[in-house]
A and B are shown apart, each in its own frame.
Chain A
Amino acid sequence: MVDEAGARTPRIIHPLYIRVTHWVNAVAIFVMVLSGWRIYNASPLFHFEFPAGFTLGGWLAGALAWHFAAMWLLALNGIAYLAYCVVSGHFRRRFLPISLRRALDDIILASQGRLDHAPGRYNAAQRLLYVGVILAVIVAVLSGLAIWKPVQLQALTALMGGYESARRVHFFAMAAIVAFLIVHIGLAVAVKGVLAPMFTGRAEAPR
Chain B
Amino acid sequence: MKPSRRASLSAFRPQITQLERRLFLKQGLSLGALSLLSGCTLKDDDAVDRLLFAMSRFNDKMQAALFDPSRLAPTYAEADVTAPFPFNAYYEEKDVPRIDGESYRLQLSGLIADKRPWSLEELRALPQSTQITRLVCVEGWSAIGKWRGVSFRHFLERIGADLTARYVGFKCADKYYSSIDTPSALHPQTLLALDFADAKFGYPLRLRIPTKLGFKNPKFIHEIFVTNDYAGGYWEDKGYNWFSGS
A residues in contact (CB < 8 Å) with B:
27, 30-31, 34, 39-40, 42-45, 53-66, 68-69, 72, 147, 149-152, 154, 163-164, 167
Q: Does A65 lie within 8 Å of B25, measured CB to CB?
A: yes
User: B115 within 8 Å of A by Cβ?
Assistant: no
Select one of B36, B67, B134 contacting A163, CB under 8 A: B134
Task: Give A39's nearest chain B residue, CB to CB.
Answer: B140
Chain B residues, CB < 8 A from A154: 71, 73-74
> Is there contact, CB below 8 Å, between A43 and B32?
no
Known: A61-B239, A66-B52; 14 extra A-B contacts, CB below 8 A, are A43-B139, A45-B140, A53-B30, A56-B32, A57-B25, A57-B28, A61-B238, A62-B27, A65-B239, A149-B66, A149-B246, A150-B134, A152-B246, A163-B134
Chain A proximity of B153: nearest CB distance (Å): 17
Binding site for A on B (CB under 8 A): 1, 5-6, 8-9, 12, 15-16, 24-25, 27-30, 32-33, 36, 40, 51-53, 55-56, 59, 66-68, 71-74, 134, 136-142, 210-211, 235, 238-241, 245-246
Task: Judge whether B28 and A59 touch: CB under 8 Å.
Answer: yes
Decide: B55 and A65 in contact? CB cutoff 8 A: yes
Bound CA–CA A100/B87 (angstroms)? 50
Which of B24, B30, B66, B134 is close to A61, meaning CB atoms less than 8 Å apart? B24
Residues of B within 8 A of A64 (CB): 138, 240-241
Given A152-B68, A163-B142, residue A58 in contact with residue B52 (CB < 8 A): no
CA distance A57 to B48 in the complex (A): 11
Min Cβ gap B12→A in Å is 6
Identity of the chain A residue whose Cβ is nearest the Cβ of B56 in the assembled complex: A65
Interchain CB contact under 8 A, A65 and B52: yes
Find chain A residues with CB under 8 A from B66 CB: 149, 152
Which residues of the other chain, A, contact B8 by a CB distance below 8 angstroms?
A: 42-43, 60
Can you name 12 A-B residue pairings with CB atoms under 8 Å? A30-B36, A43-B140, A62-B28, A64-B240, A66-B52, A147-B140, A151-B71, A151-B72, A151-B73, A151-B245, A152-B245, A163-B134
How far does the alpha carbon of A40 sit from the alpha carbon of B140 in the complex, in Å? 8
| B180 to A: closest C-beta gap in Å | 14
Q: List A contacts of B245 (CB < 8 A).
A: 149, 151-152
In the docked arrangement, what's the CA distance between A63 and B141, Å? 16
Please indicate the chain B residues that have their CB under 8 angstroms from the CB of A53 in the complex: 30, 32
Known: A58-B30, A63-B28, A152-B71. A68 touches B59 (CB 8 A): yes
Write out the residue numbers on chain B whose beta carbons fall within 8 Å of the beta carbon of A62. Answer: 24-25, 27-28, 52, 239
Residue of B nearest to A23 (CB): B39
Q: Which residues of A contact B32 (CB under 8 A)?
A: 34, 53-54, 56
